[in-house]
């Protein structure tokens, strides 16, 4: 298996605000330098141009990010504004765009970027400045002439993304969240699911993917927003009962689903925050689960099966011997 592209630049951490969203890409990059994951090639992305960003955002908002005025809008993301914010955001979105382009060529690619899905046309929100998912989706739908799926498994709803893609006839969104932040009323090309019981989390994600396959068109590309803030120890969004095992299985599920259907997938890190029991190392290790699943050499079926009697709604580690086909029969 050839090494897949993973996009990162030190411009991702250019902003002076030291919140996790503006720093953890660097933490993960450092971890890869000291403890590499096989089949990953870290590359610098091209910065998005302001003209490209206008696919999703207003000229007035880009001017605000450039100048810092009006201050209320410039800091609506809950991140402090400084002169490097727009440059950071354009590089972060460039990582998502380049990952999408590379995935179309190689089957899978990713970016260490995060902070996309709450940003709306004329303002940021929820630690998101520009919506790289929506920008890439619009551009790559035009490039391919095909349908684009945004799979959003962040803890929080992707209301910003929905607002920016809902009018496009070839952009689709599967959004499974455990927090009602940034909630919205889904349109015709969106399935939004809310999970309040960790035992139903993987089952809900799987049923969403089943519905996508059964009722939606074939996709030229999947943009995967792989949030780790669903973890029960994450204070911003986490759901008690979701742990490393469930997230590992979720990542296997997402990438294997795309692989089995021949859908190229480009992934981003999405949410995940330190605090309390969620140390920096634990958070980095969680995000590395996405990288490992994305670059797995396995060509066989994933070892996942639904077990209605189990605590999680899925098999225990000792019972992980099924396939997605078996999961379909049990669900």
Q: What is the pLDDT of residue 2?
A: 81
Domain count, the chain: 2
Q: What is the pLDDT of residue 1?
A: 63
Residue whose tokens read 């991140």? 79
Same-domain status, 186 and 131 = yes
Boundaries of domain holding 128: 4-299
Mean pLDDT value of segment 98-105: 98
Mean pLDDT value of segment 239-250: 98
Of 309, 300, 302, nearest to 330 by C-alpha is 309
Phi, psi at 269, each rounded to 5°: -75, -35
Same-domain status, 251 and 213 = yes
H helices present in 173-243, as ranges: 201-215
Same-domain status, 94 and 228 = yes
Confidence class for position 296, pLDDT limits 50, 70, 90: confident
Contact of 74 with 81, CB cutoff 8 Å: yes
- Cβ neighbours, 10 Å, residue 38: 10
Same-domain status, 19 and 76 = yes
CA 116 to each of CA 54, 142, 199, 301: distance values in angstroms, whole numbers, following the listed order? 15, 20, 28, 31
pTM: 0.92
Same-domain status, 118 and 225 = yes
For residue 175, give every residue at least 6 positions away whose Cβ sits within 8 Å of its Cβ, in sequence order, or none.
150, 152, 157, 158, 161, 162, 186, 190, 191, 192, 193
Confidence class for position 245, pLDDT limits 50, 70, 90: very high
Same-domain status, 229 and 257 = yes
Q: What is the pLDDT of residue 203?
A: 97
Mean pLDDT value of segment 273-277: 96
Q: How many CA atoms are closer than 13 Å to the CA of 96, on its beta-carbon side?
A: 33
Same-domain status, 64 and 136 = yes
Same-domain status, 256 and 325 = no
Of 227, 247, 245, nearest to 236 by C-alpha is 227
Contact of 315 with 304, CB cutoff 8 Å: yes
Question: Residue 180 belongs to a domain with what CATH number?
Answer: 3.40.800.20
- 26-40, 186-200, 288-302, 308-322: the lowest-pLDDT one: 308-322
Residue whose tokens read 């089957």? 107
Same-domain status, 174 and 314 = no
* Residue 179 pLDDT greater than 90, yes or no: yes
Same-domain status, 147 and 211 = yes
* Residue 122 pLDDT greater than 70, yes or no: yes
Return the bridge partners of 278, or none. Answer: 275
Mean pLDDT value across the chain: 91
Tell me: the pLDDT tens digits for 61-77? Answer: 999 999 999 999 999 99
Q: What is the pLDDT of residue 310?
A: 47
* Residue 321 pLDDT greater than 70, yes or no: no
Same-domain status, 72 and 175 = yes
Q: Cα 31 from chain centroid? A: 20
Same-domain status, 315 and 236 = no
């Amino acid at each position: 298996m050839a090494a897949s592209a993973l996009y990162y630049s030190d411009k991702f951490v250019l902003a002076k605000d030291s919140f996790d969203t503006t720093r953890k890409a660097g933490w993960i990059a450092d971890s890869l330098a000291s403890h590499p994951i096989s089949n990953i090639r870290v590359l610098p992305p091209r910065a998005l141009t302001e003209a490209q960003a206008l696919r999703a955002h207003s000229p007035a908002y880009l001017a605000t990010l450039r100048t810092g005025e009006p201050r209320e809008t410039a800091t609506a993301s809950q991140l402090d504004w400084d002169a490097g914010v727009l440059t950071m955001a354009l590089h972060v979105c460039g990582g998502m765009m380049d990952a999408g382009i590379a995935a179309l060529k190689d089957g899978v690619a990713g970016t260490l970027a995060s902070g996309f899905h709450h940003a709306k046309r004329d303002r940021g929100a929820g630690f998101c400045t520009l919506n790289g998912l929506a920008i890439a989706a619009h551009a790559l739908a035009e490039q391919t002439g095909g349908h684009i799926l945004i799979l959003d498994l962040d803890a929080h709803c992707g209301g910003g993304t929905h607002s920016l893609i809902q009018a496009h006839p070839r952009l689709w969104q599967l959004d499974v969240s455990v927090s009602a932040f940034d909630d919205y009323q889904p349109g015709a090309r969106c399935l939004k699911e809310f999970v309040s019981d960790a035992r139903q989390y993987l089952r809900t994600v799987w049923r969403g993917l089943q519905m996508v396959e059964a009722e939606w068109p074939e996709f030229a590309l999947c943009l995967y927003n792989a949030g780790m803030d669903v973890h029960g120890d994450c204070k911003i969004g986490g759901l008690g009962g979701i742990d490393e095992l469930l997230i590992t299985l979720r990542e296997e599920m997402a990438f294997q689903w795309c692989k089995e259907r021949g859908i190229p997938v480009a992934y981003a890190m999405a949410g995940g925050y330190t605090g309390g029991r969620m140390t920096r190392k634990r958070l980095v290790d969680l995000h590395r689960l996405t990288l490992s699943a994305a670059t797995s050499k396995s060509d066989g079926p994933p070892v996942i099966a639904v077990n209605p009697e189990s605590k999680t709604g899925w098999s225990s580690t000792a019972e992980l011997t099924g396939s997605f086909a078996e999961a379909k029969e049990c669900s």
